[in-house]
Structure 1
Amino acid sequence: MSLNGKTGASMRLIAILCAVALAGCAASVDRIQTGDGRTGYNIECGGSAYSWAKCYKAATKACPTGYDVLSRDGSTTQTNYGPAVDRSMVVACK
């Protein structure tokens, strides 16, 4: 079965939008070494549908024995498609 015409284009658009939405579900967590020699993580957790709780959940998963927040930064930029929300934080594991 092949998709033709407007129906096919609509289905492809829906599939692309779903893929983009799912890609924003997970926080990006990159391992680093902090200035004081501890293991740490740079966590990117943006998305207008999410909150800082997404970052803290990722930090807890990365550092199950606890962590110190070394920096936290967030910004919102208005676009034609709605707000683009960027959030990032750096944590050091205890």
Structure 2
Amino acid sequence: MNKLIVLLPFLLVACTTTTEINRGNGKKQFLIACGASTPWSICYDKANEVCPSGYNDVSKSGGFNRKELTVECIK
């Protein structure tokens, strides 16, 4: 049981994928997909990682299978 508790944070982080969206206007946008059971804080941690200078939320949705967060980086 203790091994599961130690591995749980790593499993949650592994449940995120990031895709860069090319809008053609020079601004960087990213679609961050997280597992449905992953807390939103993990998704926002990933947004902070891909946009270290900050970001604006473009859209946020949660469904049965996953959560999606689209952000636009601030330069």
Q: What TM-score do the two structures reach when normalised by structure 2?
A: 0.71
Unmatched 5+ stretches in structure 2: 1-10
Unmatched 5+ stretches in structure 1: 1-21, 77-84
Q: Which has the larger radius of gyration?
A: 1
Report the identity percentage.
31
CA RMSD of aligned residues (A): 2.1
Shift of 1:75: 1.4
Count the aligned residue pairs: 64
Identify the match of residue 86 of structure 1 among 66, 70, 74.
Answer: 66
> Runs (4+) of structure 1 moved beyond 6 Å?
none
Q: Deviations over 1:11-69 (max 9, x none)?
A: xxxxxxxxxxx497241001113475411101101132x21011101100000000000
Identify the match of residue 45 of structure 1 among 28, 34, 37.
Answer: 34
Q: What TM-score do the two structures reach when normalised by structure 1?
A: 0.58
